[in-house]
A and B are shown apart, each in its own frame.
Chain A
């Protein structure tokens, strides 16, 4: 017997609570895709909060999406700190020249007040307007870059790695300042109406930083920062594998984990069961060329292996649907989730 239909908010919260809602929630993380939806350039789209509001509402309805995603682009935090962002066609804007080029720059860095930033104010405005529109029927997910991963944009990956390994004092000072910024930024989004914060921490993945180093750095930073965020968090590793660090990420008191298309589905389900809700793990790059058959196979595998008992939100594995993914693929994903994601799940889903 199928369950009574829930609204998106209850559907997502039930799954996060490790119970089965009416169906598996679909949380397509649509960000710059909104520009495509409105027929605008990426730069024009993100210049006004009303564009994001309109596109988010339109896309939620169009794809039966169970979340509103107020993520603009990662480099927005760099803009708030006085740095530059480079916009490109059909792709996410990227951080420009590094803000930090020497340890002295870290000492001189002043943590900005997030409420005084023109760029971040756009995000708050969009969040407030979206909350007014959807009330508590659709969850709103805000986004921050973790203090541990942000320096990749602040100073470039190479320089940051050298700082992390060979200059502990400057590293610790930068982390202190970034924690202050991140906490302020996350809490201001929650105040504006976000229901949860996605804590992007790609460097937490053993693909990026070996576990030993992570445990003495990013893990403690995540624990401290998440402890200061006044709402639920989802830790997202942006395509990086998460299985080897899942227990540690659970220890940081985050409620949701973004997992990779390279993580083993059975193993990650066993490791997460009743402990942390999973969000993922469709391969956003391959998705560009999926046909209907591949969509169905991927959705069925995911639901069948990780959907039982709740604790699954279906999404891509990077945290952003690429511009190049055809609309038809998103429709087919949505249809497949409607078709195969109804609880209680059929036992022989894979044979259908």
Chain B
């Protein structure tokens, strides 16, 4: 009952903010509404007792990625991205509809075929201990994620080096 009420509130927040994010004309407002969508998704993770994932969602997406968007918006002129309006064209609407239907069908088939709901009902409704998550992240046996973990850290290092290369001033000789 309580879960259902919370889910409905979160669903309204997520859908409403997502809709406003797409419909608003101001780019800064769009970023703010995106922030609320990300909060709503984090709330759903908390509802499912995935507290680690929820905390990561807030810290990486809400605190990090949105901040980066806002900085990027700030770096271009205040007038360039304001009040951009695009007319709806028939072909665009059809393409959008087609892609959404394909996505919906894919997700629905995967969900129904794999019986995730029945499996989820058998799992006890508890928080996963942090030690287990940490061991899985750097474990190299089955269901260990050390390879993607290391790969991502290497990738981020490359990104940082690239950013420094772009931002660096040339030495005056």
Answer yes or no: do A and B interact: no
Q: Tell me the B residues contacting A by CB distance below 8 Å.
A: none
Q: Tell me the A residues contacting B by CB distance below 8 Å.
A: none
